[in-house]
Amino acid sequence: MLTAVDAERAAVTAGLSAAGEAAGGTEVHTVGVGLAAAAARTTYVLMSRLAVEQARPDLVVCAGIGGGFAPLAPVGSLAVAETIVAADLGVQTAEGFTPVAELGFGRSEHRPPARLSRAVAAALGAAHGPVLTVSTVTGTAARAAELAGRHPGAVAEAMEGFGVAEAVALFDIPVLEIRAVSNAVGPRDRAAWRIGEALAALTSAFGKLPGVLEVEAAHDDT
């Protein structure tokens, strides 16, 4: 499990402990804020695990707080990524935005295992749709509308998912992204942030996640 900051890591760890996950059984690491830090630290964590323990995780989950797109993901709710999208990686002209993949460079999105992301969303009561990775937090209604128009069904935005997914793809490991909504994507309003509420939702989600993953793994084997 990978989070951006320690408060998120503590929330995830508390949920896993409540679920009876033994300490160290599921590793939880912080990878820093933003796509570049997340990609670098994720690669480091996975390389270390391979080199030192000769172990490769079955799944990597990027988790934390995020902005929610109304009305799909209100403050305090959860969002699970159907796709993890690099929403501002490309070129912006007067005609609009062209994603980097359409320019012929690299990729613009990663797709978690469809059945698994759907099952996790359903079990957590979470919104399920594209989760956008941005390098600049949305702070205006116009930018929120532009992103929602470009990514129909988008449920949340945050700053690390695509970086984690890029790194994880190097190791051919499946990835999920789970966000607890601390604020609405739209005009900046720091007074309206509900970080405590979002961290509590994250803890609750990670209290349920091990059970869901166990059921899904059993399905995979049948």
Ligand X SMILES: O=C(O)c1cccc(C(=O)CC[C@H]2O[C@@H](n3cnc4c(=O)[nH]cnc43)[C@H](O)[C@@H]2O)c1
Q: Which of 66, 99, 112, 207 binds ligand X (CB under 6 A)?
A: 66
Q: Does 173 bind ligand X (CB under 6 A)?
A: no
Closer by beta carbon to ligand X, 21 or else 88: 88
Least Å distance, CB 136 to ligand X, is 8
According to the binding rule CB under 6 A, does residue 2 interact with ligand X? no
Does 202 bind ligand X (CB under 6 A)? Our answer is no
Instruction: Tell me the window of 16-24, 54-62, 105-113, 183-191 that interacts with ligand X (CB under 6 A).
Output: 183-191
Minimum gap (Å) between residue 133 Cβ and ligand X:
8
Which residues from 151-170 bind ligand X, rule CB under 6 A?
Answer: 157-160
CB-nearer residue toward ligand X: 119 or 202: 202
Q: For the chain, what is the HEC assignment?
A: CEECCHHHHHHHHHHHHHCCCCCCCCCCEECCCCHHHHHHHHHHHHHHHHHHHCCCCCCEEEEEEEEECCCCCCCCCEEEEEEEEECCCEEEECCEEEEHHHHCCCCCEECCCHHHHHHHHHHHCCEEEEEEECCCCCCCHHHHHHHHHHCCCCCEEECCHHHHHHHHHHCCCCEEEEEEEEEECCCCCHHHCCHHHHHHHHHHHHHHHHHHHHHHHHHHHC
Which residues would be at the binding site for ligand X (CB under 6 A)?
A: 4, 33, 64-67, 134, 137-139, 157-160, 182-183, 185, 188, 190
